[in-house]
């Protein structure tokens, strides 16, 4: 029977098998990088809102506490969106005739709520509870970044499963006293490691990494 493949075919086949492993690694790394890129996660993407509300102005300059607008954040899984009445507490007197705030005045007049667009939009199969994290000493900055420096809000963190798990496996670096949870400028003291070890025990922080923690 005539030989179908020449002896060179063995060399080519071996070279192909050897090069297959790094090729798979490169493709896998490229896929992982793409999956975690802002193009997929929407990290750093500014979401257009009905009104260009500036957290930099309200929180950073005027010193508004997060809880003034997000009233449910300490007792509910959801932070909550402020009703128009909250805006009008100030803007019935301040900048009352500014064209930019016309949608607020119209909403207040008609009773139709403003339709704000979600910036931090976790998938429905991922459960997240705001008030539990705050009670355990996780500051707003850990997930939302320096919101007090954002003229327009964007998603500061990737919010991927691996990003969440990094914190769940090692929560200590993110812990702070409960009274500092809403403080954007809080700086850990010199004895930070000792403080966080104490807070881990005092607040009952657990390293929860089971699937059912977030996927219920």
Question: Which tens digit of pLDDT belongs to each residue from 82-135?
Answer: 999 999 999 999 999 999 999 999 999 999 999 999 999 999 999 999 999 999
164 in the same domain as 65: yes
163 in the same domain as 69: yes
In this prediction, residues 187-209 reach a mean pLDDT of 96
**In contact, 97 and 80? CB cutoff 8 Å:** no
- Whole-angstrom distance, CA of residue 29 vs CA of residue 151: 35
DSSP 8-state secondary structure symbol assigned to residue 59 = I
165 in the same domain as 75: yes
Please give the model's pTM, rounded to 2 decimal places. 0.81
Three-point CA angle 182, 212, 43, nearest 5°: 50
29 in the same domain as 121: no
Centroid of chain to Cα 82 = 19
Q: How many domains would you assign to the chain?
A: 2
In this predicted structure, what is the pLDDT of residue 144? 96
**In sequence order, which residues have a C-beta less than 8 Å from that of residue 160 and are 6 or more positions away?**
35, 36, 41
In this prediction, residues 199-204 reach a mean pLDDT of 97
> By residue range, what is the domain housing residue 20?
8-35
75 in the same domain as 12: no
- Listing DSSP states for 145-189 in one string gives --GGG-SS-BB-S---HHHHHHHHH--GGGB--GGGTT-TT----
């Amino acid at each position: 029977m005539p030989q179908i493949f020449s002896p060179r075919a063995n060399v080519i086949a071996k070279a192909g098998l050897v090069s297959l492993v790094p090729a798979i690694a490169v493709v896998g790394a490229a896929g992982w990088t793409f999956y975690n890129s802002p193009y997929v996660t929407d990290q750093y993407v500014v979401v257009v809102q009905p009104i260009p509300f500036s957290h930099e102005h309200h929180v950073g300059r005027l010193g508004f506490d997060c809880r003034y607008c997000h009233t449910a954040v300490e007792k509910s899984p959801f932070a909550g969106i402020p009703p128009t009445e909250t805006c009008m507490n100030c803007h019935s007197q301040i900048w009352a005739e500014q064209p930019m705030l016309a949608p607020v005045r119209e909403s207040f007049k008609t009773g139709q709520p403003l339709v704000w667009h979600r910036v931090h939009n976790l998938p429905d199969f991922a459960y997240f509870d705001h008030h539990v994290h705050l009670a355990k000493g996780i500051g707003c900055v850990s997930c939302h970044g320096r919101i007090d420096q954002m003229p327009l809000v964007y998603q500061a963190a990737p919010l991927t499963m691996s990003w969440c798990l990094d914190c769940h496996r090692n929560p200590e670096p993110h812990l702070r006293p409960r009274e500092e949870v809403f403080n954007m400028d809080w700086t850990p003291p010199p004895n930070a490691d000792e403080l966080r070890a104490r807070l881990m025990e005092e607040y009952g922080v657990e390293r929860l990494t089971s699937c059912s923690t977030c996927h219920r």
